[in-house]
Amino acid sequence: MLPFKVIYHPQYDLDLGPHVFPSQKFRLIHDALLAEGVAEAGDFLLPEPAPDEDVLRVHTPDYVRKLQTDSLTLSERMKLEIPLSDTTRMGFWLAAGGSTLAGRKALEDGFAANLSGGFHHAYAGHGEGFCMIHDVGVAIRSLQAAGKIRTAMTVDTDVHHGNGTAAIFGDDPSVFTLSIHQENNYPMPKPPSDEDIGLEDGTRDHEYLDALEEGFLRALKKLTPDLIFYVGGADPYREDQLGGLALTIEGLQQRDRLVFEHARRRGIPVASTLAGGYARHVADTVRIHVNTIVAARDVALQLSHPGEK
**pTM of the entire predicted model:** 0.96
Query: What pLDDT score was predicted for residue 304?
Result: 66
Q: What is the pLDDT along the chain (309 residues), one digit of tens a residue?
A: 999 999 999 999 998 988 999 999 999 999 999 999 999 999 999 999 999 999 999 999 999 999 999 999 999 999 999 999 999 999 999 999 999 999 999 999 999 999 999 999 999 999 999 999 999 999 999 999 999 999 999 999 999 999 999 999 999 999 999 999 999 999 999 999 999 999 999 999 999 999 999 999 999 999 999 999 999 999 999 999 999 999 999 999 999 999 999 999 999 999 999 999 999 999 999 999 999 999 999 999 997 654 444
Question: With helix as H, strand as E and coil as C, how does 147-163 read?
Answer: CCCCCEEEEECCCCCCH
Query: What pLDDT score was predicted for residue 15?
Result: 87
Query: What pLDDT score was predicted for residue 74?
Result: 97
The reply to whether omega before 189 is within 30° of 0 (cis) is: yes
- Residue pair 165/136 in contact (Cβ under 8 Å)? The answer is yes
Query: What pLDDT score was predicted for residue 218?
Result: 98
Residue type, 275: A
Alpha helices in 37-162 (DSSP H): 52-55, 61-68, 74-80, 86-109, 135-145
Query: What pLDDT score was predicted for residue 309?
Result: 40
DSSP line for 190-222: -PPPSEEEEEPTT--HHHHHHHHHHHHHHHHHH
CA angle 154, 132, 77 (to 5 degrees): 140
Query: What pLDDT score was predicted for residue 18?
Result: 86
Closest CA to 139 of 172, 82, 94, 177: 94
Between the CA atoms of 187, 238, 133 and 109, what dihedral angle is there, to the nearest 10 degrees? -130
Domains and CATH numbers, the chain: 5-302 (3.40.800.20)
The Cα 132–Cα 84 span in angstroms is 9
Question: In angstroms, what CA-CA distances link 130 with 258, 270, 274?
Answer: 28, 24, 13
The Cα 26–Cα 10 span in angstroms is 8
